[in-house]
Structure 1
């Protein structure tokens, strides 16, 4: 493993995640054998604005049917399944956390998308794929945990075909100072490597990418997080735990969510979506 990768894995890893997820569905009155993508939506899109953000980014990158997509940092597979089911793409997911890969495969099989979506264990800094393999590389809330972003972006460019597109949805450093911890991507600053948006675009340019679209989604992100907290506060005290991101973030979920709201309100973090293109062949 690269430096910090063990700490990153420890931050996200959940023991017996597959069993935890299936038990949570049973407790919520859902038959785990007949799950749908609507059933999994609150759990499987582990990023700001959930499935809406995935759809917006897919539109921004002009995703086409039969595009071959690599989802780097694919988590438990929600975005990959959305791209396959709604945009008719073939998607490969790769993630540093083996437990996530197993859970992603299990959920994909249960919603019947295993013919379009596969997952494997691997690191974003040394992707297990040949050069120029993919039409689109997909990156949502991954660079936050990568210190060597220059190497990350060089590796993403390597596996993209000439003229291929990089779709990126990332959390950036804001002007308001260091973020409060814990947050969903880190319990402390040791594995949080935020850079300002202009530094992010510089690193992407240095790696050879050309910017095609860039959108600041900070305001929408804050509204979404506030809505999540309001819904959590309105749940009856005796209600069963929800089948949602709490299964991935653990017992500190409320604190992590509240800290993200504070960080957004105090301009300690910003959120961006963008599309960049790899250079065409000479």
Structure 2
């Protein structure tokens, strides 16, 4: 599924760079733990702290089968499977993310619980009512037609199931153009950062009932405070800089500037399939 979005994220040597990054903390694929590799994989504002704070909203059980929309290398998928014992299917457009994610799952002995698929999130190929719940973390910024995505998620989630969105949305200043590159886009043609109302309208049009919609200012504030402290310093190899590759520093600086100018606000929306 080549295209400008997958091209932005693709890196032919990603797994090799991850393996080299492990060496910086004296770990190998045989010895690394799920917590040690988390800072590299949690490719969203707040990283593992955000995951741990937000995933409980889904009320996961060991009997559940969950869908991770835009899973990247599968960090959130593995966290959920390891923490709650559920089965997780992740889908992502970027082939190198999926390939690396499958290998990392094997390192952590989670291949029986986590299955990653190279697929379009708007056309998942799963049967109707397959999943007990779904989530997507920092995905909608790359999707122009969010309603199509929400309709697909609604189709594959069972009645009564929950859908958790955690995305970068427009902040108080919703009109000033963002500066690129950003972590999710090299330039503006593949960036679709929208106000929270766009998400809410799309979810309701797809048939979801919105349970809550909350700006995550505390999670974001703590994250950006740490990011500001790292300005001008070489980032750790065990960080999302490894996923971002060349230009990671500029992408992070532009993201920080957008937050400081109140152009963006990471927001979590919890929706439910009626039934």
Cα distance between partner residues in 2 of 1:229 and 1:248: 20
CA shift, 1:92, in A, is 0.7
Q: What aligned pairs does 1:9-28 form with structure 2 within 5 A after superposition?
A: 9-28=6-25
Deviation at 1:201, TM superposition (A): 0.7
Q: Give matches, 1:107-186, under 5 Å.
A: 107-176=104-173, 177-186=176-185
Task: Say whether 1:34 aligns with 2:7.
Answer: no
Q: How far has the Cα of 1:219 moved from its partner?
A: 4.3
Partner of 1:106: 103
Of 19-28 and 82-91, more deviation after overlay is shown by: 19-28
Note the residue ranges of structure 1 that are not aligned, 5 or more in a row: none
Deviations, residues 80-110 of structure 1 (Å, cap 9, x unaligned):
0100111221111111011100110111110
Aligned counterpart, 2:59: 62
Tell me if the contact between 2:258 and 2:264 (Cα under 8 Å) persists in the aligned partners.
Answer: yes
Partner of 1:91: 88
| Contact 1:26-1:32 within 8 A present in 2 as well | no
Asked whether the equivalents of residues 60 and 213 of structure 1 are also in contact (C-alpha less than 8 Å), the reply is no
SS in 2 for 1:33: coil
Contact 1:165 1:277 in 2 (8 A): yes
The answer for the alignment partner of 2:259 in structure 1 is 264
Q: Which secondary structure does the structure 2 equivalent of 1:256 belong to?
A: helix
**How many Å apart are 1:241 and its aligned residue?**
5.0
Q: Please report the RMSD computed on the Cα atoms of aligned residues, expressed in angstroms.
A: 1.7
Q: Match for residue 277 of structure 1?
A: 272
CA distance in 1 between partners of 2:73 and 2:27 (Å): 19
**SS of the residue 2:259 aligns to:** helix
For 1:217-232, what aligned pairs fall within 5 Å after superposition? Answer: 217-231=216-230
CA distance 1:92–1:164, change in 2 (3 Å): same
Q: Is the 8 A contact 1:73 1:94 kept in 2?
A: yes
Which of the numbers 245, 248, 251 marks the counterpart of 1:250?
Answer: 245
Among 31, 43, 60, the alignment partner of 2:40 is: 43
The two structures have a TM-score, normalised by structure 1, of 0.92
Deviations 1:38-65 (A, max 9, x none): 2201111111111111121212222223
